[in-house]
Homo-oligomer: A and B are copies of this chain.
Amino acid sequence: MKEIEKKLNDNGVRPTAMRILIYKYLAEKDVATSLTDIEMAFAKADRTTLFRTLKTFEKQGVVHQIDDGTGVQKYALCEPGCNCELEQDLHLHFHCNNCDETVCLTEHKIPHINLPEGFVAEDANLVLKGICDKCSGQ
């Protein structure tokens, strides 16, 4: 519990009760989480608070945002050494068409692509879709 407070403090986020709960929730889930997911889990809290909490987390490098192609923004906790901004640090994401969950494959970086003359890449997003390990094992 105290570790979460410390973690938030280290990232320049004031550890309020709400924020600690949200962090804990994200830590317990091992899949990317949408604002609506969190809203369901914390029915009493206001949507805006949750929204702004996520945005604060994102800005301070606590979570990174994921666009998995479903049309809804999702978030996942950054790994200890996660440098989300740098191209070479971008891992890829896997979206399961069966259970509809999205997971970070932090070990799998996006390979370097040779672009045509004149194109300069600053960022990349790679999402693979298919059947995840949990669903294919059934």
Contact = CB atoms under 8 A, between A and B. Distances in A.
A100 interface: no
B120 A130 contact: yes
Nearest to A70: B67
Copies in the complex: 2
Contacts of A108: 113-116
A124 B123 contact: no
A122 B115 contact: no
A133 B18 CA distance: 46
B115 A136 contact: no
A92 B116 CA distance: 12
A97 B123 CA distance: 10
A119 B131 contact: yes
Contacts of A122: 97, 129-131
Interface string A75-98: 000000000000000001010010
Interface in A56-112: 67, 69, 71, 92, 94, 97, 105, 107-108, 110-111
The 3 tightest CB contacts between A and B, nearest first, are A118-B133, A122-B130, A123-B129
